[in-house]
A and B are shown apart, each in its own frame.
Chain A
Amino acid sequence: MSERPFMPDPSGLSTALRHALGWLVFGNLVGLYLSTLLLFPELQLGSWTYGRWVPVHLNSQLYGWTSLPLVAWLFSIYQVDSGKARAWASAAVWAWTAALALGAFQWLGAVTSGKIFLDWKGGALWAFIAAQGLLWCVLAASWREHSGGWTKLRRSATLAGLCGLALVPMSLVFAASPAVYPPVDRTTGGPTGSSLLGSSLLVVGLMLILPRVTALARPGRKSVWIWVFFGVSWLVFGVTEAMGGTHFEVHQIVSMLFLLPWVWWLPRDWAGFEWPDGSRFWRGAMFGWWGVLVVSGLLMYQAGVLDRLKFTQGLVAHSHLAMAGFTTSFCSLLLVLLTGKRIGSGFSVGVWHVATLAMIVTLATMGWREGGGPSWMLEQPVWRELGLWIRSLCGLLMFGVSVSWWMKWRML
């Protein structure tokens, strides 16, 4: 029997999702390599050291796996694939990938701004901005072509979206500048509670918009209170951010408390919509991880707890909870909503979540012990090694799962 080469679906949406999964595979591979390096530093590849690979791993996940599904969502919102702009949509995705690849090349070459998740600098920064510019032009051309047939609300909202997106490149240049740094909690050297609230509210905003754009219908009663609370939350962020302070101060703790209602309110809001088949699992997984993320974040911010966990594997655990747990569930849900297809087999999805949970529990446990005194690493080399081995094994499983997902999606 012969194997038939195929031509993948050339639409911008499919291309963006394929590239997203490609970056997930690459990012997971780099993550697996990093975890292995902690056990076997001799596996270092020349001058490409641990510190140079970390931004490649982090940014592959953020600007590849997490961002490209959002690009696909934009293609869907602006109906890019049903008009003349379709011809350039795939090119915009490829440009995005090329810029990210240039970034990876630069980071491995020790060229970075030195800011985590904002490592863009020099040529790669301008390349990424050029890619964003091309993407914006594709969206704008599609808006121009289609908006005449849209409702007034949709026309206005998408135009506002275009205006907002036009600011992204400039914001990136500003944020990546080494001269800019957010307020710091002087007792920990980390972000303030208000900073954490602000970054989380961006995610809340996406989760508020998603059902209103992608759900099948909304039979339930509309509520304005959720938007009122959303606005108040931003107001609290603005005030407490201006006040600054530490995690010992009430106003910073209160600002974090404003995240708690969203654990209940967002699932309730989503329950008022009708959803396509196959999305139920990912909605449940996303809100499950979301709840754990918010509650654990709130607990970890408390005096005594944050002081113990700061600078330890405990915070690495929370990062993986955010990216491998919540964000991956969000992106996978987007895949289902945008295409109607499942990301992979039930088994592979199960393995992903179990491996993610095992990695988080292991890292959190190690972090808690380490936080009691850094000598734990010396006193308990067996437990330390075991923890790192479990982490690597989980990384291997997650890499394998991501490969299986990519293999499936590249055939679509």
Chain B
Amino acid sequence: MRATLAVAAVYGFFLIFAQFSFVELLRGAGLGVDAEKMLLGGMAVGGIAGGFLTAWRGVSPRVARIALGVAGLVAAVAPLVSNVFGFAGIALMTGVTLGVATVCLSALLPAWCGVAWVGLGTGLGYTMCNVPAVFLQSPSGQAWIAAGFAGVGVVAMPLKAEWSEQTGGEKVFPWWGVLAIFTALVWMDSAAFFIIQHSGDLKSETWGETLLWRNAAVHLVLACGAGVWLARGGARSLPGTAWLLLAIAALTVNDESTRGISGWFYPAGVSLYSAALVAWPGWYSGAVGMRVAAWRAAWLFAIAGWFGSANGIGMAESLERVPPVFVAGAGAVVGAVMILSNRGNWRIALAVAGVVLVGWMGGISKGRETSAVVSSAAERGRKVYVSEGCIHCHSRYVRPGSADEQIWGPAPKVEEVMKGEPVIIGNRRQGPDLSNVGARRSEAWLKAHFINPRGLVADSSMPNYAHLFEDCRGADLVRYLKESGVATTAELMAQAAVWLPEANAGTADGKSLYTNNCAACHGADGRGGGAMAGNFTRPPANLVTGPFLWTAPGADHALRIARVIKYGAIGTDMPGHEVMTDAQINALTAEILRLRGEPNFRTRE
């Protein structure tokens, strides 16, 4: 556990001070971009020098604790510095002490704990930095928190270390391959991180302030998972998996509709390879002693850590989006090492490459059915209906002669349904049947519902489809649905005109029904000012003062209100509430009448 805390402290210090706080302190001092680059370069040189110096002189817990202690002192005084010479000293000292501490730690860990604990330590380090109280702290505050992390590391670090005969010695990849893999991963991560960090829209949706706890949790879970995975013998497949997760993050962050996905995958990929990076020199580099492990760590952190990171940032400086070629390049390096390190795998590589090539030639990215080949908006909309998988929640089949007809309208002709390519009857109704939705809902309502389902239907499990309205797909889909069953409008109106609710159907809470089903458009007070009212050209009716076009006072106006609740005002934006029971409709009718200041009504006995 002490070793785990040491890992967490060193990682936490590195992330919150060297990567964030120090950079912000430099910017706050107004030293300029060139000076900033030179000072960060100085930190890198110090880190490389410190690492090699440690490998040469030998590692020990005492050296590591001294280095971490000095690093903490340097971080503590950093907010007090204001000139370039002072910052140069801070940068150099931070680099040297971090170089010493990381190489010591990496070489000593196999003597202290199992590799699974490294994952936990890495996860704790990332998690601590993502806690809002730390992440959103001022640069000075972060520097002092980092100093605190270093202090914890000094206290927690075990005092003695000795490798047993069984420690280390495993070589998963050739050493050149290890350097190549981690350099590629750090390079891609650094480039993606820099681009996301400096593009406001990318940053807010990936690690914006509201997502910090989520990111903290993802880091912790995945880093712990990485430790367990390594302990269970997963060293060979972990780097490839980390690349895959980072690749998904890098490719999805560029598009607004998929940016939310990136926020999950990025911390996942980073956590995986970060845990492996610390563990590799001691456990999987083939080192058979602390001294060799220290040299391996010095080389790995110098090339992959300092050099790879600086290169990634340098190449991404002028970019606003993550280029797919960066992702492919890193993937090619990782893949090449994994294949070339085991000559038996060439057949697998060939087979997979062949299948992917066939898929690519067959049009892997084609098929979004909005091409000009499909002529009308409704036809394109049907393709969108199919491609978005609407059939998994909605049927398009009113069963003839069943209760379906009372709820969803007239049954279609089977022969017409079967002409569809593909047939889209569906097999499960998480939501309503959509055969006659064009007669039951307006285009404005459909669009508003796609963009904000829960805004119109309380507790709806309908997904949010706002992304479809970034291009023509949303409008096409709405048009298709509107044209679906619109021909049955007259039939539906006739059905509504004769419908009578059972008077003795039971009781229901009209007020809560109103709140859940009506207030979004008609407002909590019934005066038409609901949150969703602005989505409609014609404002929702004022249920208190009118005018009441559909339910004007008269002998049967209560019944007409009930019919409007059940079937909607067909041809307007007012939707029906088809699945409500008669008891619910009666209670809601009474509530509407109460808003209108009218007495209750009696329905069919």
Contacts and interface: CB of A to CB of B under 8 A. Distances in A.
Given A2-B169, A5-B236, A122-B364, A46 B355 contact: no
A5 B170 contact: yes
Interface string B251-270: 01001011111001000000
Interface string B468-489: 0000000000000000000000
Given A184-B425, A312-B429, A50 B464 contact: no
Interface string B225-239: 000001111011000
A375 B355 contact: no
Contacts of B235: 5
B399 interface: yes
Contacts of A373: 403, 579, 581
A307 B425 CA distance: 15
Interface residues of B, number: 92
A47 B167 CA distance: 47
A130 B391 contact: no
A311 interface: yes
Given A112-B389, A375-B584, A49 B399 contact: no
A131 B355 CA distance: 6
Given A49-B463, A127-B359, A10 B233 contact: no
Interface residues of A, number: 81
A351 to B, nearest CB: 20
B283 interface: yes
Contacts of B351: 88, 91-92, 94-95, 98, 131, 134
Interface string B435-471: 0000000000000000001100001111111010000
A99 B392 contact: no
B375 to A, nearest CB: 18
A184 B395 CA distance: 14
Nearest to B582: A375
B562 to A, nearest CB: 15
A44 B303 CA distance: 39
A178 B463 contact: no
Interface stretch (B327-335, B415-423, B537-545, B552-560): B415-423
Interface string A88-109: 1011101100110010011101
A87 B429 contact: no
A310 B428 CA distance: 8
B389 A52 contact: yes
Contacts of A184: 414, 417-418, 423, 425
B233 A44 contact: no
A307 B350 CA distance: 52
A126 B344 contact: no
B39 to A, nearest CB: 38
A2 B356 contact: no
B355 A99 contact: yes
Given A54-B389, A113-B422, A311 B395 contact: yes
Contacts of B403: 373
A349 interface: no
Nearest to A58: B392
A98 B259 CA distance: 25
Nearest to B585: A375
A3 B393 contact: no
A315 interface: yes
A179 interface: yes
Interface string B381-404: 000101111111101010111110
Interface of B: 110, 114-115, 164, 166-170, 172, 230-233, 235-236, 252, 255, 257-261, 264, 283-284, 344, 347-348, 350-352, 354-356, 358-368, 384, 386-393, 395, 397, 399-403, 407, 414, 417-418, 421-430, 432-433, 453-454, 459-465, 467, 579-581, 584
13 contacts: A2-B166, A3-B230, A3-B283, A45-B261, A46-B258, A94-B351, A124-B364, A126-B362, A127-B359, A131-B355, A186-B414, A189-B425, A378-B580
